[in-house]
């Protein structure tokens, strides 16, 4: 993920570098944190809210306009955590993602 622009609906895509079989994941959380306003949003994602590609080893989720408008700093941190069907837990590295502003706020 290269950047997030406030007020848009970006797709957050993570490349998973471990050998985990993504089809065995039973729960997935996406956490986005903005230190400037001490805002943090955690999404417990259901299977219909994400795209899991076991061949490309990616997990993707789309954020809403409302969610991206919550953030105010120039950088947010994003992490995915997951648990598989045998209760083994996984976490990605935390990624720093630039947050770009828009000229006029609000949902369109």
Give percent of the chain with pLDDT exceeding 90. 45
Q: What sign does the dihedral 62-67-72-73 (CA atoms) show?
A: negative
Q: What's the chain's average pLDDT? A: 87
Domain ranges of the chain: 4-100
pLDDT tens digits along 7-59: 999 998 989 988 899 999 988 888 888 876 655 666 666 666 788 999 999 99
- Give residue 73's Cα distance to chain centre: 17
Each residue of 53-89: pLDDT tens digit? Answer: 999 999 998 888 988 898 888 999 988 899 999 999 9
Question: How many CA atoms lie less than 13 Å away from 104 in the CB half-sphere?
Answer: 2
CATH class of 4-100: mainly beta
């Amino acid at each position: 993920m290269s950047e997030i622009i406030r007020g848009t609906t970006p797709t957050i895509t993570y490349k998973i570098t471990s050998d985990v079989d993504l089809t065995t994941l039973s729960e997935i959380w996406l956490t986005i944190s903005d230190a400037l306003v001490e805002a943090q949003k955690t999404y417990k994602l259901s299977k219909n809210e994400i795209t899991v590609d076991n061949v490309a080893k990616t997990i993707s989720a789309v954020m809403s306009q409302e969610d991206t408008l919550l953030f105010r700093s120039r950088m947010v941190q994003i992490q995915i955590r997951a648990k598989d069907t045998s209760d083994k837990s996984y976490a990605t590295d935390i990624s720093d993602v630039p947050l770009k502003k828009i000229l006029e706020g609000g949902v369109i």
